[in-house]
Amino acid sequence: MRKRIVIDLDAPQAERTARARVGKRGRWRRILAVLIGVVLVVVLAAIVGGFFGWRYYQSTPAYTLTLMIDAAQRNDLAEFEKRIDDEEIAKNMLASVSQKAAGRYGFALNSSIQQRIDTVIPTLLPSLKQTVHDEVVKEIKEFASKSEPRPFIFLVVTVPSLMKVTTEGDIAKATAALSDRTIELSMRRDAERWKVIEFKDDVVVQRVADSVMKELPAIGTIDPNSPLLKRSARGKRRR
């Protein structure tokens, strides 16, 4: 009895097909692994970049202004006071207050009154500190109350657009527009934060000058020997 030998000609092709399928699956796994790795690297880079970006922003004057406006909205006076230097603000405002006080006398101003102003105003610095402090707090609260109280993260995003800030070394200047005027703040670097050292606002200067006038001589009659009066009289005669 003869034995029949059967040769399966399709076997090599089947093996090749199976190996091809396995190879394709392996390539897709490698591609997927690479894609996952790239995504993880991008996400990690974004997290690290966001962290360092946030840390940098926390060292900017804009962030300090954000903290001040947030504190004003929450009536957190202790937090607000950390961001202002009352003594420096008062010192920097003395010249403007002196000029404003002198202007109140008009033609009645003479050398003795001017000397009195120059002598008295520096001695008022301790009391001026509290007056200036109260006025600055009032102004920042007024600025913060222009809109409804906002979450802190909203202030972080919007404050840079509400106030123009320029920085030069350890000094920064910020300007903000109110409905009828513009206020200007000067800031100085203080460790990782900034402190307000100067506050320019004509309305605040007027209020502080009002308090100073109580300590100065009452405005009396016009001094006939005033050079200002003589110049004014000459000007009228020429007309």
Domain encompassing residue 124: 61-227
Please give the model's pTM, rounded to 2 decimal places. Answer: 0.65
In a domain, 188, yes or no: yes
Closest CA to 183 of 239, 136, 145, 237: 136
In a domain, 7, yes or no: no
Q: How far apart are CA 186 and CA 130, in angstroms?
A: 19
What total of structural domains would you count in the chain? 1
Residue 24 is predicted with a pLDDT of: 61
In a domain, 148, yes or no: yes
Q: How far apart are CA 62 and CA 192, in angstroms?
A: 13
| 10-46: pLDDT as tens digits | 545 556 565 556 556 667 778 888 888 888 999 999 9
Please check whether residue 186 is in contact with residue 163, taking contact to mean a CB–CB distance below 8 angstroms: no
Residue 3 is predicted with a pLDDT of: 54
Within 8 A by CB and 6+ apart from 73, the residues are: 144, 145, 149, 150
Residue 231 is predicted with a pLDDT of: 43
Residue 12 is predicted with a pLDDT of: 58
In a domain, 237, yes or no: no
Closest CA to 181 of 135, 143, 207: 143
Residue type, 47: I
| 156-187: pLDDT as tens digits | 888 888 888 999 989 999 988 777 778 888 99
Q: How far apart are CA 76 and CA 228, in angstroms?
A: 49
Residue 170 is predicted with a pLDDT of: 92
Question: With a cut of 70, which residues of the chain have pLDDT below it?
Answer: 1-26, 145-148, 219-239
Residue 186 is predicted with a pLDDT of: 92
In a domain, 19, yes or no: no
Please check whether residue 160 is in contact with residue 62, taking contact to mean a CB–CB distance below 8 angstroms: yes
In a domain, 137, yes or no: yes
In a domain, 151, yes or no: yes
Residue 234 is predicted with a pLDDT of: 47
Residue 233 is predicted with a pLDDT of: 43
In a domain, 30, yes or no: no
Residue 28 is predicted with a pLDDT of: 76
What is the CB neighbour count within 10 angstroms for residue 170? Answer: 10
